[in-house]
Amino acid sequence: MNPRAKKFLSYYKPYLGVFTADMLCAFAVAGISLILPMIVRYITNTVLVNYEISEAVGVIAKLALAMVALAILQFLCNFFIAYKGHIMGAKMEYDMRNDIFDHYQKLSFNFYDNEKVGQLMTRVTNDLFEITELCHHGPEDIIISIIKFVGAFVILIQIDGKLTLLLFSVIPIMFAFACYMKGKMNRAFRKNRENIAEINAQIEDNLSGIRVVKSFANEEQEKQKFRVGNGKFVESKSYAYWQMATFHSGLGFFTGMINVVVIVGGGLLIARGGLKISDLLTFLLYVNNIIEPVNKLINFTEQFQNGITGFSRFMDILEIEPDIKDKENAIELQNVRGDICFTDVAFHYEGTKEDVFENINLKVPAGGYVALVGSSGVGKTTLCSLIPRFYEVSGGSVSIDGVDVRDVTLHSLRSNIGIVQQDVYLFAGTVADNIRYGKLSATMDEIIEAAKEANAHEFIMGLPDGYNTYIGQRGVKLSGGQKQRLSIARVFLKNPPVLIFDEATSALDNESEKIVQESLEKLAAGRTTFVIAHRLTTIRNAREILVLTENGICERGTHAELIAKNGMYAAMYQVGTV
The residue type of 435 is I
CATH code for the domain of 448: 3.40.50.300
Quote the pLDDT of residue 343: 93
Asked, for residue 115, whether it belongs to a domain, the answer is: yes
User: What range defines the domain where residue 483 resides?
Assistant: 423-495
Residue ranges in the chain modelled with pLDDT below 70: 118, 193, 197, 208, 473-474, 476, 504-513, 534-538, 576-578
User: What are the tens digits of pLDDT across the range 264-297?
Assistant: 888 888 888 878 888 888 888 888 788 888 888 8
Quote the pLDDT of residue 505: 64
Quote the pLDDT of residue 108: 81
Quote the pLDDT of residue 331: 92
Asked, for residue 88, whether it belongs to a domain, the answer is: yes
The secondary structure of 24-51 as a DSSP string is HHHHHHHHHHHHHHHHHHHIIIIIHHHS
Asked, for residue 544, whether it belongs to a domain, the answer is: no
CB atoms inside a 10 Å sphere around CB 516: 26
Mark which of 129, 160, 191 sits at the end of a domain: 160
Quote the pLDDT of residue 16: 93
What distances in angstroms separate CA 129 from CA 104, 123, 141, one per listed residue? 18, 9, 17
User: What are the tens digits of pLDDT across the range 467-483?
Assistant: 998 887 667 678 878 88
Quote the pLDDT of residue 456: 87
Asked, for residue 225, whether it belongs to a domain, the answer is: no
Asked, for residue 439, whether it belongs to a domain, the answer is: yes
Strand 403-404 versus strand 395-400 pairing type = antiparallel
> Computed from CA positions of residues 145, 151, 155, 156, in that sequence, does the dihedral angle turn out positive or negative?
positive
CB 562 within 8 A of CB 576: no
| Contacts of 214-221 spanning 24+ positions with Cβ under 8 A | none
Quote the pLDDT of residue 405: 93
- Supply the Cα-derived Rg of the chain in whole angstroms: 36
Mark which of 126, 144, 160 sits at the end of a domain: 160
Q: First CA to last CA across the chain, in angstroms?
A: 62
The residue type of 162 is K
Show Cβ contacts of residue 337 under 8 Å, excluding neighbours closer than 6 positions: 366, 401, 497
**CA–CA dist 546, 363 (Å, integer):** 12
**CA–CA dist 498, 333 (Å, integer):** 13
CA neighbor of 570 nearest in space, from 379, 550, 561: 561
Asked, for residue 176, whether it belongs to a domain, the answer is: no
CA neighbor of 314 nearest in space, from 487, 99, 29: 99
How many domains are contained in the chain?
A: 2
**CA–CA dist 578, 573 (Å, integer):** 5
**CA–CA dist 80, 292 (Å, integer):** 20
Mark which of 119, 139, 160 sits at the end of a domain: 160
Asked, for residue 435, whether it belongs to a domain, the answer is: yes
Which residues share a beta bridge with 528?
Answer: 498
Show Cβ contacts of residue 195 under 8 Å, excluding neighbours closer than 6 positions: 229, 232, 233, 236, 237
| Residue 331, phi-psi category: left (phi > 0), alpha (psi -120 to 50), beta (remainder) | beta
Show Cβ contacts of residue 474 under 8 Å, excluding neighbours closer than 6 positions: 425, 426, 428
Longest dimension (CA), the chain: 123
CATH code for the domain of 111: 1.20.1560.10
**CA–CA dist 47, 53 (Å, integer):** 9
| Mean pLDDT score of the chain | 85
**CA–CA dist 493, 448 (Å, integer):** 10
CB 414 within 8 A of CB 467: no
Quote the pLDDT of residue 341: 94
What distances in angstroms separate CA 2 from CA 59, 110, 133, 163, 321, one per listed residue? 55, 29, 21, 44, 19
* Residue 81 per-residue DSSP state: I
CB atoms inside a 10 Å sphere around CB 465: 11
Asked, for residue 30, whether it belongs to a domain, the answer is: yes
| Residue 129, phi-psi category: left (phi > 0), alpha (psi -120 to 50), beta (remainder) | alpha
CA neighbor of 398 nearest in space, from 387, 388, 411: 387
